[in-house]
Amino acid sequence: MPRRVSLPGANELFRPTAGTPDPAQEKAATTTKAKTAKGSQASTSAGQRAGSGRVRHDEKITVYVSTEELMALETARLTLRSQGINADRGRIVRASVAMALADLEENGQDCRLARLLTTD
């Protein structure tokens, strides 16, 4: 007769470790942060738009760049690092997108983004 082994349940295997908040509390905190971020973003003027910074991002896009663009981005990252600003490439791109969108909101068709896209 085969012996049946008792294994722990999924709740026991995937439970939070010590020091980790309860998942319900963590979700509530994330929701509060999201509401606060949306409220503060809506209250800022177009010229004050900023990148989302170092937060968990739920959305993802894929961007293809040339070798030269990637090297320029990495050079910018290293330049910022030498100035004491630690930012990964994604954070630099998010800040750049925020700047371009703020310029678009503020200046419309006269923004740098529109001029750059019409020359392509």
Q: Encode pLDDT of 81-118 as tens digits.
A: 999 999 999 999 999 999 999 999 999 999 999 999 99
pLDDT recorded at residue 39: 46
pLDDT recorded at residue 38: 47
Number of other CB atoms surrounding residue 49 within 10 Å: 19
Residue 69, in any domain of the structure: yes
Residue 52 · residue 33 · CB < 8 Å:
no
**Average pLDDT for residues 70-74, to the nearest whole number?**
96
pLDDT recorded at residue 52: 67
Over 70: is that where the pLDDT of 21 sits? no
Q: Encode pLDDT of 25-40 as tens digits.
A: 555 555 555 554 444 4
Mind giving me the DSSP string for 37-81? HHHHHHHS-GGG-----SS-----------HHHHHHHHHHHHHHH
Distance CA 104, CA 30 (A): 30
Q: Give me the domain span that covers residue 87.
A: 65-120
Q: How far apart are the first and last CA of the chain?
A: 75
Residue 49 · residue 105 · CB < 8 Å:
yes
pLDDT recorded at residue 89: 93
Look at the chain and report how many structural domains it folds into: 1
Distance CA 108, CA 105 (A): 6
Residue 103, in any domain of the structure: yes
C-alpha 58: how far from chain center = 8
pLDDT recorded at residue 6: 78
Residue 55, in any domain of the structure: no
Residue 1, in any domain of the structure: no
